[in-house]
Chains A and B, each alone.
Chain A
């Protein structure tokens, strides 16, 4: 079946460094959602991307949807300790399919 792969699985960065996680699909996606889960918490919706090549920004977070709608990325500029958590992409072409997530650790 359809698979959504996220890389990397884990990332440790120094506070102030940038961070990027990638979400890749074997098939074309109708749209993609990104979620953040803080340690001990539940996933919280961040954003939805729908259009080919779409780029959206939320303060230090930049979300991008690939031209072929098969991949997406989340980039955080100048990470802070509040960015710690696991970031999931969610594709729902037919069925809701979450990527495995990227867990971000930020060293102060």
Chain B
């Protein structure tokens, strides 16, 4: 089944404790992206990747890191999480990036205390 998976689905952590949210897709998509979703603000792009070893900042990259060492995986790293990073996070992939249908993962709800 074609899908985007994220782990964990739920996470409660404390300020400053490094964490990684994994994202994996099995559709051989070049393009992958991370979004955060907050009430009233819609979906805001954090980082995106056009292909392996190619990443770029989205609209709200501060406090986040990503890597794209292989095509299927695109982990989101929070080196020192803060409470303002409490949010719902979605990973998405598409076959060619701009102008193509994006497939979203189920989401990761992160709470930073």
A88 to B92, CA, bound (A): 15
A100 to B35, CA, bound (A): 13
Q: Tell me, yes or no, whether A95 is within 8 Å of chain B by CB.
A: yes
Contacts of A35 in B (CB 8 A): 102
A88 to B45, CA, bound (A): 14
A4 to B33, CA, bound (A): 19
Contact A44 B104 (CB under 8 A): yes
* Residue from B41, B98, B105 within 8 A of A96 (CB atoms): B98
Q: Tell me, yes or no, whether A9 is within 8 Å of chain B by CB.
A: yes
Contacts of B42 in A (CB 8 A): 6, 88, 98-101
Q: Tell me, yes or no, whether A73 is within 8 Å of chain B by CB.
A: no
Contact A95 B107 (CB under 8 A): no
Name which of B35, B58, B97, B98 has the most chain A CB atoms within 10 A of its CB: B98
Question: In the complex, how many angstroms separate the beta carbon of B47 from the nearest chain A beta carbon?
Answer: 11
A43 to B40, CA, bound (A): 16
Residues 11-62 (chain A) with a chain B CB within 8 angstroms: 30-31, 33, 35, 41-45, 48, 50
A97 to B19, CA, bound (A): 26
Q: What total of chain A residues lie within 8 Å of the partner, measured CB to CB?
A: 26
Q: Tell me, yes or no, whether B101 is within 8 Å of chain A by CB.
A: yes
Chain A interface, >50% SS class: loop
Residues 71-113 (chain B) with a chain A CB within 8 angstroms: 90, 92, 97-99, 101-107
Q: Tell me, yes or no, whether A81 is within 8 Å of chain B by CB.
A: no
Contacts of B105 in A (CB 8 A): 42
Contact B43 A92 (CB under 8 A): no
Contact A31 B99 (CB under 8 A): yes
A50 to B59, CA, bound (A): 24
Q: Tell me, yes or no, whether B65 is within 8 Å of chain A by CB.
A: no
Contact A48 B101 (CB under 8 A): yes
Given A43-B90, A48-B99, A97-B59, 14 additional A-B pairs, CB 8 A: A9-B40, A31-B99, A35-B102, A41-B106, A42-B104, A45-B101, A92-B97, A95-B58, A95-B59, A96-B33, A96-B48, A96-B102, A97-B45, A98-B45
